[in-house]
Amino acid sequence: MSAPKPGRQQLTGYVVRDYEHMMAAFAASRESQHLTYDEIARRMGRCYLQQVFTWLNGAAECRARRLFALADALGYDLALIPREETP
């Protein structure tokens, strides 16, 4: 394994394939942390537990702004990481 590039942190965590994969990872995180939908909604601020439930169970899609708040409520940061090689 090569050393990280200068100025770049060594990242660990999830590399998600698509929206559904990310939401499944969030749902698993909620369960492993024993968080209720209500607790996540409170952490997000101005959010209803029904919304959180529908997002994490795949009944509705979460808009980008709320997606960042959901990730934050679950203890994650979302990041855009450039690929090492471009096609």
Query: How many CB atoms within 10 Å of residue 56?
Result: 22
Residues 24/57, Cβ–Cβ less than 8 Å: no
User: Looking at residue 53, what is its pLDDT?
Assistant: 96
* Domains of the chain: total: 1
Residue 14 resides in a domain? no
Question: Any idea what DSSP says for residue 6?
Answer: T
User: Looking at residue 14, what is its pLDDT?
Assistant: 66
Residue 62 resides in a domain? yes
What pTM was estimated for this model as a whole?
Answer: 0.78
User: Looking at residue 15, what is its pLDDT?
Assistant: 77
Residue 18 resides in a domain? no
Report d(CA 50, CA 21) in Å as an integer.
21
Residue 20 resides in a domain? no
Q: Mean pLDDT in each 10-residue stretch from start to end of the chain (87 residues)?
A: 51 77 94 96 94 95 94 91 73
Residue range(s) defining the domain that contains residue 43: 33-73
Cα angle, residue 18 at apex, residues 8 and 64 outer, rounded to 5°: 75
φ/ψ of 42, rounded to 5, equals -65, -40
| Phi/psi-derived region of residue 45, left when phi > 0, alpha when psi is between -120 and 50, beta in every other case | left
Residue 7 resides in a domain? no
